[in-house]
Chain A
Amino acid sequence: MKIDYDTGDFFDEMYHADGTARPHYARLVETLSSLSEEGFHKKLEAVELAFLQQGITFTVYGNEESTEKIFPFDLIPRIIPASEWSHLEKGLIQRMTALNLFLHDVYHDQKIIKDGIVPLEIIKSGKHFREEMVGFEPPKGIYIHICGTDLIRDHKGEYLVLEDNGRCPSGVSYMIENRRAMKKAFPRLFPASGVQSVSNYPDKLHKALQYIAPQAGSATIAVLTPGIYNSAYFEHCFLARQMGAEIVQGQDLVVKKDDCVYMKTTVGLKKVDVLYRRIDDDFIDPEVFNKKSLLGVPGLMRAYHAGNVSLANAIGTGIADDKVTYCFVPDMIKYYLDQDPILPNVETFLPYREDDMKYVMENMENLVVKAANEAGGYGMLIGPAASKAEVAKFRKMVKKNPRDFIAQPPISLSRHPTYGDEGLDGRHVDLRPYIIQSDKIRVVPGGLTRVALRKGSLVVNSSQGGGSKDTWVLNNDQ
């Protein structure tokens, strides 16, 4: 394949600005150039067909009907050298530690508030702060068991944290399936020194769930899914299958007078000990939260409070992945761990603060404005690309509810060569590593690299034209 590639004015993952390949990509570039473009294209088609036939799809909701799509996959892997990864790993472990300490504090003594680090109003007004969790001690004191933290790289190549997904982070099945597809399509591309494996993620998850079981010994674990119409249903099934756990919907569970959770089986009721729940707090128990929810299990919170069932993640973790709380994570790290953050945040303005509000109003055309509690790339304004009317609309919205928004300078996300209609072309990427906390914190080497497939686009979300790449963490630096 002929590689005729322009790095543009961006930090490129594969190439230096002068056009030479970075050392950890050298071997890949060499192998790629020896492939024919035709052969490469055939492999891509084969992989896409395999994804479709396996039903590795997600659902996009449109105005009228929902459609099933495969998550577009790019065959050029992203490579991270070992030393760079170990830096990221340390930073992620530090962050996860601080987030769990923060959640415990915020639902108990609130020292961080009393000491004036995080303002009380931010917590009280947080959409995902759950009064029901105040004073409750979750099993082993852990709130976030599974976190997906999104990292980006700026024009200098520095890694920054864009957000933490501490509720129900998704995408991990794509990480595993992408690797499987790559191994099938391009065994020759893998370096002789190997690539760190991601396939044991389900085992790690299983152990983390076992770890919080109400009683020692073998626990009955189930994955609680909203059902087959949920966009991540494939993943829920995938994980259940890989862990040998049951996959259940709300209708399969019942909480009895003894405050235990049971599944309805063909031979009667069977007690459930741990739920890996992929339903948001709001819908999980109609007795306590959204009364109209048909997805949840009435009485689940009773069982949880009684300690008869453990949930991962805990209820109420959403207050930690609120984008306003996000701004305080570096302060949390300092406060709880007395350390400097290893991975910095993106510079962020909080319209909630008077000075920041002024700045945001005056510079909105040059900022990215995000709703504090939306996910999936929704509720977002990219100032430089937006029309006057859109900017005006956001100005009004921010002014009305300053607490609900944050603003950041646009980061020119790093780019990665990506295969498209015109051969290899630079596309913006981010990285979502998965962090699991049980007896200790473990980070899956690599994670999901998401890529904005539309030329020039900075939005990597699958619902908005994003795709993904296999992500290799090398065993060494080259």
Chain B
Amino acid sequence: MLCRVADSLFWMSRYIERAENTVRLVDVMHQTILESEHSNDDSGYAHWEPTLLTLDEKDSYEALYPKRSSFNVTEFLTFNERNPSSVLSCITSARENARTVRDQISTEMWETLNKLYLFIKRADSQMVCSESDFEFFAQIKEYSHLFRGILESTFPQDLGYEYVVCGREIERAAKTCQILDTKRFTSSFTGEPDDALDAVQFAAMLRSCTGFEAFHHEHGSDLDAVPVRQFLLLSHKFPRSALFCIRRLQAAMHAISNCSITHFSNEPERLTGRLVSRLSYALAVDVEGESGDRMIDEIEAELENIAIAFSRHYMRAEIHDPVIEATQSQA
């Protein structure tokens, strides 16, 4: 497979996942604000601040918008083309990447992504941002699910498929960590412990990861920091927990290299394996309080290293040179 094709498949998939996650975040935030105390003039901007901080977008938001309002943040995260992580930018990038590999992916995959692009391009952004348009966000999430379903049933499950999985799982794991981070930023703002508010925020976090029901299955109604972290970081059943995503990532990487999962054949595999074992053998106490904070930071940093090592190894590969090899083997 061409390096460029591998790269495009990886990023196509990553961008779709990113768009979907941002949509979830925005949607859940809208619903949370409706139920909480907020003044009319900033219409809930304070609630957005932690989200902007976790996404590392607070500065770029404030540079683009003098006025702090829920409307503007929604616009910024959803439609602003000058924000490279906005939903629209992500979908545009996903489509550009899909276009470069149009010959490799199925017609159905391309058309779904193209329809999604046409859908968001034609959306009335004023309406969506002022009305917190539930239907709009739901539609984007559905397109993303549809794409995944079509991928599973139309795309040959060989090399290209594994690159798509790698892109998706890296992004998903990173986003789950970011969502957990929102809580940390929120606490640092409010200072005083407030059980009722905590419960609302934990519920919002779980909803952002579609894990509200699944959490209750695993942990009962114990909506508290440690079980929520345990669930979102360490669950080996829930498809959006960090561990679950990283395990899938590991499996996909080993499918690409054909190397047994018991050892590693390259740097990204080594880093991933190390992270998997770290999370697999973590205890509840490891995710508690500050050591838990550190763990989240480390997972995020490690995912970044894995992505870099992965793309260095496969996409901007130190290409082995058949000419040199031929002369060497003759010598």
Contact = CB atoms under 8 A, between A and B. Distances in A.
Interface residues of B, number: 26
B96 A228 contact: yes
Given A55-B114, A256-B321, A257-B323, A266 B1 contact: yes
Q: How large is the interface on A (under 10, 10 to 19, 20 to 34, 35 or more residues)?
A: 20 to 34
Nearest to A260: B323
Interface string A300-322: 00000000000000000000000
Interface string B80-103: 000000000000000010011011
A187 interface: no
5 contacts: A54-B110, A227-B100, A266-B256, A268-B317, A268-B322
B99 A265 contact: no
Interface string B159-172: 10000000000000
A53 B118 contact: yes
Interface in A213-257: 227-228, 233-234, 237, 240-241, 246-249, 251-252, 254, 256-257
B102 A264 contact: no
Interface of B: 1-4, 6, 96, 99-100, 102-103, 107, 110-111, 114-115, 118, 159, 256, 314-315, 317, 319-323
Nearest to B96: A228
A269 interface: yes
Contacts of A267: 1
Closest 3 pairs between A and B when the two form their complex, measured CB to CB: A241-B103, A237-B102, A240-B103
A265 B115 CA distance: 30
Contact of A264 (B100, B110, B256, B317): B317
A266 B96 contact: no
A264 B319 contact: yes
Contact of B2 (A227, A263, A271): A263
A262 interface: yes
A252 B319 contact: no
A457 to B, nearest CB: 29
Contacts of A234: 102
Contacts of A397: none
B6 A266 contact: yes
A252 B1 CA distance: 11
A252 B4 contact: yes
Contacts of A268: 317, 319-320, 322
Nearest to A258: B323
A52 interface: yes
Interface string A355-388: 0000000000000000000000000000000000
Contacts of B100: 227-228
Contacts of B114: 53-55
Contacts of A247: 103
Contacts of A249: 4
B1 A265 contact: yes
A264 B2 contact: yes
Nearest to B117: A55
Contacts of A252: 2-4
Contacts of B6: 266
A448 to B, nearest CB: 21
Given A252-B2, A257-B323, A266 B317 contact: yes
A249 B102 CA distance: 13
Contacts of B321: 256, 269
A246 B111 contact: no
A52 B314 CA distance: 34
Given A237-B102, A237-B103, 9 more contacts: A53-B111, A53-B118, A55-B102, A228-B99, A252-B3, A256-B322, A256-B323, A268-B317, A269-B319
Contacts of B315: 266
Contacts of A233: 99
A205 to B, nearest CB: 14
A209 to B, nearest CB: 15
B110 A55 contact: yes
Nearest to B325: A268
Nearest to A223: B103
A54 B2 contact: no
A112 to B, nearest CB: 41
B331 to A, nearest CB: 15
A476 B56 CA distance: 69
Contact of B3 (A53, A237, A241, A264): A264
Nearest to A50: B111
A138 to B, nearest CB: 25
